[in-house]
Amino acid sequence: MKLKIKDVEFKNPVLTASGTFGYGNELEDIIPVNELGGIVTKGISLKPRMGNPPPRLAETPCGLLNSIGLENIGLEKFVKEKWPEIKKIGPEIVVNIFGEKIEEYVEIAKTLEKEGIRCIELNLSCPNVEKGGLEFGRSERVVRNLVEKVRENFNGVIFVKLSPNFTDIVKISKAAEKGGADVLTLINTIMGMSIDAENMSFKIPRKVAGLSGPAIRPIALYIVYRVYQEVDIPIAGVGGINDIKSALEFHLAGSTLIQIGTALFIDPWIPFKIIKGIEEFLNKKNMEFKSIIGYLNKKRG
Amino acid sequence: MRFLEEKSEIINLIDLGKDYYQIVISAPEISKLARPGQFVNIKVTGSLFPLLRRPFSIWSAKENYIEVLCKEVGIGTKILREKKFGKISLIGPLGKPFPEPSPEDIVVLLGGGTGIAPLSFYAERITENKKIFFAGFKHLPSPYLLRRLEEVCETLIIATEDGSMGFKGLLSELIEKEFKNIESEYTKYFVCGPYPMLKVFEKILPEQRTFVSLEGIMACGFGICMGCAVKKKGENRYLRTCTDGTLFSLKDIEI
């Protein structure tokens, strides 16, 4: 199940999703992290971010709303303190990054390249302060421009993570591809809300939060299916994968890689069950891993 | 940090009146590792609803089992109560254990509702210190619950909001009244209970010698979701209830 994207090899297709596995080494003593295909870190910004006040979470039917607020220690501390630790643990590390301006993404990418980091993931679901706080990922032009600028400054693998809020994600995906993305991570959380009727209040003080978990799986799966038809770069499917079957669903729809997120909170051993399960499925069907990617789908043209 | 998952069974469920119940869970590995102050995160069904595990303080850990004190507050604790004898999955033990007291410490335990559980486990394991247990309830607690508290502590003082037993009123009102009788330079306060109670204790207890065990809304319980944030006093950052706590010195956090 080894995969090569540019010159980076992933030992299997199963990665942890950003924001659901800390910086990467928190569970080093508990689970065999070196057997993962890869780890996507928490989102890193230029300056440290404190995150949002609690409560930050609300459970919904088969889903989880979160408003962590992108809490992180900032680029400088990440590079000095975390990177030396996490680069030792084994699997490929994908550093998720975000900013409020295009220049911030570029600056972070430059610094990470200097440190020898080979994979980054751009979170484009963040407010663009220069465009009145609209998400970067809403505009094809902005997405293409942002990815191009990062591309000019980063030679490794660039994942671009998109969310289906407000826009046609197929068009945005194509813009990211044109800008020079190597992998599309589909999808980020979907905006949602939860209200405590009895107390007549919002469950999360910020009102709007990101929905994840099996509740969003059919949406994520459909987006992977649609985008696969229109782009040539690989897709990392993410959204509600919590067992072997749901992992396979994403591969069959067109995902090359998959990311496990919310399911880690319930079962941190689940990635390894999925890795083993995919191998057993392939043996049973007598198929190569590559032949199940997009098995139920067709590239257009 | 060391924790594991045990696919387990509820071997006994004791109804303690009103919304309270106790479950006894067969968990030989977690039981061996469990220390006072730690908790388990329980998946109450094998299905996607409810999606997340539910955290519960360990009330006691003996031989091959652990005991948990529950209050029915939502769908997870309702399913658990109706489940009676059945399969569950639990992850634990999670969180840091409470620290060992110094020999000269007078240990004052202040528990409201299910907050008595971790304090009772702590009292059970402390054998050398003088212990005073103040427990607050809305209504008359079950005789079984009282007996369990009496077993771990030589002095047990009860407050009930409806006045059915002991002091009539909130536990915090009782402590405001009794504070001068229990306070000394050797007194250490361990507090666990509902948020409004903690807010009152924050004002009346000495912050250097008061330790608060927090409950937080958490998704994982082992430090990766960042959901159970608690504000560090005097600093622009949050700590995590699950891995930095659950016990915090009052001087370190904003409640």
Tell me what the pLDDT averaged over chain B comes to: 95
Is residue B148 domain-shared with residue B116, that is, in the same domain?
yes
**What contacts B163, CB < 8 A, 6 or more positions away?**
B169
Query: For the residues B88-107, what does the mean pLDDT come to?
Result: 96
Question: Alpha-carbon distance A168 to B212, whole Å?
Answer: 49
Residue B101: inside a domain: no
**What contacts B243, CB < 8 A, 6 or more positions away?**
B1, B94, B95, B96, B222, B223
- Could you read off the pLDDT of A37-64 as tens digits, one per residue? 999 999 999 999 999 999 999 999 999 9
Is residue B132 domain-shared with residue B209, that is, in the same domain?
yes
Chain B residues near residue A19 by CB distance under 8 angstroms: 226
- Please tell me the predicted confidence (pLDDT) of residue A88: 94
CB contact under 8 Å between B224 and A59, yes or no, is: no
- Please tell me the predicted confidence (pLDDT) of residue A301: 64
Question: Tokens 């194509």 identify what position?
Answer: A174
- Could you read off the pLDDT of B19-41 as tens digits, one per residue? 999 999 999 999 999 999 999 99
Minimal-distance CA residue of chain A relative to B235:
A50
Is residue B50 domain-shared with residue B110, that is, in the same domain?
no
Query: For the residues A19-45, what does the mean pLDDT come to?
Result: 96
A23 in contact with B, Cβ within 8 Å: no
Residue A131 pLDDT > 80 = no
From A126, A143, A204, A264, active-site residue: A126
- Please tell me the predicted confidence (pLDDT) of residue B85: 73
Residue B23: inside a domain: yes
Domain final residue, candidates B94, B125, B145? B94
| Phi, psi (deg, nearest 5) at residue B198 | -65, -40
Question: Alpha-carbon distance A287 to B142, whole Å?
Answer: 62
Residue B164 corresponds to which amino acid? Answer: S
Looking at the structure of chain B, the number of domains it has is: 2
Residue B173: inside a domain: yes
String of b and e for A26-40 (b: at least 16 CB within 10 Å)? bbbebeebeebbbbb
Is residue B82 domain-shared with residue B133, that is, in the same domain?
no
Residue A152 corresponds to which amino acid? Answer: E
- Could you read off the pLDDT of B102-152 as tens digits, one per residue? 999 999 999 999 999 999 999 999 999 999 999 999 999 999 999 999 999
- Please tell me the predicted confidence (pLDDT) of residue B18: 86
Specify the DSSP element, H or E, that contains A64: strand A63-66
CATH number, domain with residue B174:
3.40.50.80
Residue B254: inside a domain: no
| Phi, psi (deg, nearest 5) at residue B132 | -125, 125
Is residue B190 domain-shared with residue B134, that is, in the same domain?
yes
Is residue B125 domain-shared with residue B74, that is, in the same domain?
no
Is residue B67 domain-shared with residue B121, that is, in the same domain?
no
Rounded to the nearest 10 degrees, the angle between the axes of helix A217-230 and helix A169-179 is: 50
Q: Which residues pair with A40 in a beta bridge?
A: A94
CB contact under 8 Å between A265 and B220, yes or no, is: yes
* Mutation site, A49, A66, A265, interface B, largest B CB count within 10 A: A265
Q: Where are the beta strands (DSSP E) in chain B?
A: 4-15, 20-26, 39-43, 54-62, 65-71, 87-94, 106-112, 130-137, 155-160, 167-168, 187-192, 210-213, 229-231, 238-240, 247-249
Residue B100: inside a domain: no
Question: Alpha-carbon distance A34 to B3, whole Å?
Answer: 18
Q: Which residues pair with A120 in a beta bridge?
A: A95, A158
Q: Counting beta carbons within 10 angstroms of the beta carbon of residue B31, is it exposed (0 to 12), middle (13 to 18) or buried (19 or more)?
A: buried
CATH number, domain with residue B70:
2.40.30.10
**Cis (ω within 30 of 0) for the bond into B246?**
yes
Tell me what the pLDDT averaged over chain A comes to: 96
Q: What is the DSSP letter of A268?
A: T
Residue A165 pLDDT > 90 = no
Domain final residue, candidates B68, B94, B120? B94
- Could you read off the pLDDT of B42-90 as tens digits, one per residue? 999 999 999 999 999 999 999 999 999 999 999 999 999 988 778 999 9
A residues 214-233 closer than 8 Å to B (CB):
214
Residue B246 pLDDT > 70 = yes
Residue B248: inside a domain: no
Is residue B48 domain-shared with residue B132, that is, in the same domain?
no
Q: With beta carbons less than 8 A apart as the criterion, state whether A294 and A252 touch.
A: yes
**Separation in Å, CA of A213 to nearest CA in chain B:** 8
Is residue B76 domain-shared with residue B134, that is, in the same domain?
no
Residue B223: inside a domain: no
**Separation in Å, CA of A62 to nearest CA in chain B:** 5
Question: Alpha-carbon distance A169 to A227, whole Å?
Answer: 8
Is residue B70 domain-shared with residue B167, that is, in the same domain?
no
Is residue B64 domain-shared with residue B132, that is, in the same domain?
no
Q: With beta carbons less than 8 A apart as the criterion, state whether B160 and B139 touch.
A: yes
Residue B226: inside a domain: no
User: Is-catalytic flag, A126?
Assistant: yes
- Could you read off the pLDDT of B6-19 as tens digits, one per residue? 999 999 999 998 89
Domain that holds residue B139: 106-213
Residue A129 pLDDT > 80 = no
Is residue B10 domain-shared with residue B78, that is, in the same domain?
yes
Question: Alpha-carbon distance B156 to B165, whole Å?
Answer: 12
Question: Alpha-carbon distance B69 to A218, whole Å?
Answer: 38
- Could you read off the pLDDT of B163-211 as tens digits, one per residue? 999 999 999 999 999 999 999 999 999 999 999 999 999 999 999 999 9
All domains of chain A in start order, with CATH: 3-47+69-187+213-292 (3.20.20.70)
